Amino acid sequence: MKMKKVISLGLAAAMTVSLLTACGQTTEESSTSSDGNVQIEYWHTMSGVNGEAMEAVVNTFNETVGAENGITVKSVYQGDDVSEKLKTLAQANDTKNFPNVAQIVGAGVPSALDYEQLIKVEDMYEKGENITVAKEDLDEHSVRAFSYQDELICMPFNVSSILLYYNKDMFEEVGLDPENPPQTIAEMAEACEKLLVKDGDTVTRYGLNVAVRRYQLANWIGGQGEYNFFGNNEGGRAGMMTEVTFGEDGSLDKFLTEWQKVVDTGAYKEVEDNINEEFSMGLFGMAIMSSARIGTIDSLVGDKFEWATAPLPKVDAADTGGTAVGGSCLAMFDKGDEAQVDASWIFTQYLASPEAQIAFDTATGYLPVNTKVYDEADMQTYMEENPNYTVAVDQMRNSNVNVQEPFDIINWELDEIIKNNMAEFGAGNQDKDTTCTNIVEQCNEKLAEYARANG
Amino acid sequence: MEKQASFTGRGRVKKKKRLSKRIEPFLYLAPALIFFVGFTYYPFAKTVFSSFFLVNSMGEIREFVGLENFISVLTNPAFLQSIKNTLIYVVMSSPIAIFIALLLAMIANRKTKLSPVYEMLYAITMAVSMSVAAMIFQLMYNPTIGILNYIFNTHFNWLNDKKIAMIALSLIAVWLNIGYNFLFLLSAVRGISSDLLESADIDGANFFQRTFKIIVPIISPTVFYLICNSLAKNMMMSGLVLILTQGAPQGSTETMISFMYKQSVNNLNYNDGYAAAIIAFIITSIAMAFSFSFEKKGVHYN
Question: Which CATH number goes with the domain that contains A77?
Answer: 3.40.190.10
DSSP A312: P
- Residues A333, A289 share a domain: no
Distance CA(A444)–CA(A244), nearest Å, equals: 6
- Domain membership of residue A21 (yes or no) is no
CA angle A22, A23, A24 (to 5 degrees): 95
- Domain membership of residue A102 (yes or no) is yes
User: Which residue would you say has higher pLDDT here, A260 or B194?
Assistant: A260
Distance CA(B72)–CA(B93), nearest Å, equals: 30
Instruction: Please give the average per-residue pLDDT across A23-48, as a whole number.
Output: 72
**A454 vs B160: CB contact, 8 Å cut-off?**
no
Residue B24 half-sphere exposure, CB side, CA atoms within 13 Å? 9
Chain B residues closer than 8 Å to A278 by CB: 144
Write the ipTM.
Answer: 0.79
Residue closest to A170 by CA, chosen among A280, A313, A295, A291: A280
List all residues 6 or more positions away from A369 whose beta carbon is below 8 Å from its beta carbon.
A138, A139, A142, A156, A157, A158, A159, A352, A357
**pLDDT at residue A25, as a whole number:** 45
d(CA B145, nearest CA chain A) in Å: 9
- Per-residue DSSP letters for A186-246? HHHHHHHHHH-EEETTEEEEEEEE----HHHHHHHHHTSSS---SBHHHHHTSS---SB-T
- Residues A153, A167 share a domain: no
Chain B residues closer than 8 Å to A90 by CB: 58
Measured between CB atoms, which of A273, A283, A452 is closest to B160?
A: A273
Chain A residues closer than 8 Å to B65 by CB: none
Instruction: Please give the average per-residue pLDDT across B220-237, as a whole number.
Output: 90
User: Which residue would you say has higher pLDDT here, A381 or B9?
Assistant: A381
- Domain membership of residue A10 (yes or no) is no
- Determine the distance from the C-alpha atom of residue A195 to the mean position of all C-alpha atoms in its chain, rounded to a whole number: 31
Distance CA(A74)–CA(A51), nearest Å, equals: 14
Distance CA(A187)–CA(A181), nearest Å, equals: 9
- Residues A424, A339 share a domain: no
- Domain membership of residue A42 (yes or no) is yes
A112-126, B65-79, B287-301: range with lowest mean pLDDT: B287-301
Q: How many helices (H) and strands (E) does chain A have?
A: 20, 14
Which one of B53, B155, B262, B268 makes the best mutation probe of the A interface by having the most chain A beta carbons within 10 Å? B268
CB–CB of B274/B47 below 8 Å?
A: yes
Residue closest to B130 by CA, chosen among B188, B179, B190: B179
Residue closest to A450 by CA, chosen among A290, A297, A231: A231
List strand residue ranges (DSSP E) for chain B, in order: 53-55, 61-64
The average confidence (pLDDT) of chain A is 91
Cis amide leading into B249 (omega within 30): yes
Measured between CB atoms, which of B58, B262, B269 is closest to A449?
A: B269
- pLDDT one-digit tens code per residue, A7-18: 555 555 555 555
List all residues 6 or more positions away from A260 whose beta carbon is below 8 Å from its beta carbon.
A432
B252: contact with A, CB 8 A cutoff = no
Chain B: residue whose CA lies nearest to A114: B58
Report percent pLDDT > 70 for chain B.
94
- Determine the distance from the C-alpha atom of residue B6 to the mean position of all C-alpha atoms in its chain, rounded to a whole number: 58
Per-residue pLDDT at A348 exceeds 50: yes
- Domain membership of residue A30 (yes or no) is no
**pLDDT at residue A32, as a whole number:** 62
Burial code (b: 16+ CB inside 10 Å, e: under 16) for A133-153 equals beeeebbebbbbbbbbeeebb
Distance CA(B3)–CA(A28), nearest Å, equals: 61
- Residues A73, A62 share a domain: yes
A77-81, A256-260, B27-31, B207-211: range with lowest mean pLDDT: B207-211
Report percent pLDDT > 90 for chain A.
83
Distance CA(A368)–CA(A291), nearest Å, equals: 12
Chain A residues closer than 8 Å to B145 by CB: 274, 277, 281
**pLDDT at residue A23, as a whole number:** 46
- pLDDT one-digit tens code per residue, A320-332: 999 999 999 999 9
List all residues 6 or more positions away from B60 whose beta carbon is below 8 Å from its beta carbon.
none
**pLDDT at residue A443, as a whole number:** 97
**pLDDT at residue A320, as a whole number:** 95
Chain B residues closer than 8 Å to A446 by CB: 267
Q: How confident is the model at residue A1 (pLDDT cuts 50, 70, 90)?
A: very low
CB–CB of B146/B139 below 8 Å?
A: yes
1-20 in chain B: CB under 8 A from chain A? none
Q: How many helices (H) and strands (E) does chain B have?
A: 14, 2
Whole-Å CA distances, A337 to A30, A344, B230, B270, B300: 10, 11, 51, 33, 67
- Residues A272, A261 share a domain: yes
Q: Which residue range is the domain that position A237 belongs to?
A: 162-322+408-454
- Hey, what amino acid is at B276? A
**pLDDT at residue B11, as a whole number:** 53
CB–CB of B165/B159 below 8 Å?
A: yes
Size of interface A-B (CB pairs under 8 A): 68
**B250 vs A420: CB contact, 8 Å cut-off?**
yes
Instruction: Please give the average per-residue pLDDT across A364-377, as a whole number.
Output: 94
Whole-Å CA distances, A46 to A327, A350, A357, A360, B148: 12, 18, 15, 11, 32
- pLDDT one-digit tens code per residue, A218-229: 999 999 999 999
- pLDDT one-digit tens code per residue, A373-418: 999 999 999 999 999 999 999 999 999 999 999 999 899 999 999 9
Chain A residues closer than 8 Å to B143 by CB: 273
Tell how strand A284-290 and strand A147-148 pair up. unpaired
Measured between CB atoms, which of A16, A84, A453 is closest to B54?
A: A453
The average confidence (pLDDT) of chain B is 88
Phi, psi of A164 (to 5 degrees): -95, 125
Report percent pLDDT > 90 for chain B.
51
CB–CB of B270/B50 below 8 Å?
A: yes
Tell how strand A268-269 and strand A202-209 pair up. parallel
**pLDDT at residue B5, as a whole number:** 47
Per-residue pLDDT at A277 exceeds 60: yes
Phi, psi of A172 (to 5 degrees): -60, -45
Chain A: residue whose CA lies nearest to B24: A9
Which one of A89, A214, A269, A410 makes the best mutation probe of the B interface by having the most chain B beta carbons within 10 Å? A410
- Residues A72, A189 share a domain: no
- Residues A330, A309 share a domain: no
Per-residue pLDDT at A130 exceeds 80: yes
- Residues A311, A351 share a domain: no
d(CA A69, nearest CA chain B) in Å: 37
Chain B: residue whose CA lies nearest to A420: B250
List all residues 6 or more positions away from A377 whose beta carbon is below 8 Å from its beta carbon.
none
- Residues A314, A333 share a domain: no
**B160 vs A271: CB contact, 8 Å cut-off?**
yes
Q: How confident is the model at residue B117 (pLDDT cuts 50, 70, 90)?
A: confident
Chain A residues closer than 8 Å to B55 by CB: 453
- Domain membership of residue A32 (yes or no) is no
**pLDDT at residue A11, as a whole number:** 54
- pLDDT one-digit tens code per residue, A136-147: 999 999 999 999
- Domain membership of residue A198 (yes or no) is yes
List all residues 6 or more positions away from B71 whose beta carbon is below 8 Å from its beta carbon.
none
**B160 vs A90: CB contact, 8 Å cut-off?**
no
**B57 vs A409: CB contact, 8 Å cut-off?**
yes
99-128 in chain B: CB under 8 A from chain A? none
Helix extents (H) in A307-376? 338-351, 354-364
CB–CB of A238/A151 below 8 Å?
A: no
Chain B residues closer than 8 Å to A442 by CB: none
Chain B residues closer than 8 Å to A89 by CB: none
- Residues A240, A126 share a domain: no
Chain B: residue whose CA lies nearest to A278: B144
Q: How confident is the model at residue A26 (pLDDT cuts 50, 70, 90)?
A: very low
Q: How confident is the model at residue A22 (pLDDT cuts 50, 70, 90)?
A: very low
Measured between CB atoms, which of A277, A283, A412 is closest to B267?
A: A412
Chain B: residue whose CA lies nearest to A111: B57
**A453 vs B56: CB contact, 8 Å cut-off?**
yes
Distance CA(B264)–CA(B245), nearest Å, equals: 18
- Residues A97, A240 share a domain: no
Residue closest to B247 by CA, chosen among B57, B86, B34: B86
pTM, 2 dp: 0.85
Measured between CB atoms, which of B58, B144, B251 is closest to A114?
A: B58
- Domain membership of residue A305 (yes or no) is yes
d(CA A79, nearest CA chain B) in Å: 14
Distance CA(B302)–CA(B297), nearest Å, equals: 14
List all residues 6 or more positions away from A29 whose beta carbon is below 8 Å from its beta carbon.
A39
Per-residue pLDDT at B38 exceeds 50: yes
**B57 vs A419: CB contact, 8 Å cut-off?**
no
Report percent pLDDT > 70 for chain A.
93
Domain count, chain A: 2
Whole-Å CA distances, A111 to A107, A115, A213, A232, A313: 8, 8, 21, 18, 32
d(CA A91, nearest CA chain B) in Å: 6
**pLDDT at residue A337, as a whole number:** 92
Which one of B29, B51, B58 makes the best mutation probe of the A interface by having the most chain A beta carbons within 10 Å? B58
Measured between CB atoms, which of B57, B157, B265 is closest to A454?
A: B57
**pLDDT at residue A377, as a whole number:** 94
- Residues A290, A304 share a domain: yes
- pLDDT one-digit tens code per residue, B261-280: 999 988 889 999 999 999 99
B266: contact with A, CB 8 A cutoff = yes
- pLDDT one-digit tens code per residue, B96-114: 999 999 999 988 888 888 8
B57: contact with A, CB 8 A cutoff = yes
Where is A162: in which H helix or E strand? Answer: strand A162-167
